[in-house]
Amino acid sequence: MKLQKTLLILLVIIGVVMIVLGIRAKILPPPLTGVGFFIIAYVLNQSIKK
């Protein structure tokens, strides 16, 4: 359980970093990847709650 929460936090941090880097460089793929990390984190969070 603790490992899953750690992975969840790590995914959110990576997602934020990807979005910030993409906005600074004014390119689209990193922010899209960051959103993908948020979606994965959401799905992981839903599976932890069950």
Q: What is the pTM of this model?
A: 0.85
Residues 1-48 have pLDDT tens digits of 788 889 999 999 999 999 999 999 999 999 999 999 999 999 999 988
DSSP tag of 26: T
Domain of residue 38: give its range. 2-49
**Contacts with 50 (C-beta within 8 Å, 6 or more apart), sequence order:** none
* Residue 10: closest CA among 32, 40, 47, 31: 40
In this predicted structure, what is the pLDDT of residue 23? 95
In this predicted structure, what is the pLDDT of residue 4? 87
State how many domains the chain has: 1
How remote is the C-alpha of 44 from its chain's centroid?
11
Residues 7-16 have pLDDT tens digits of 999 999 999 9
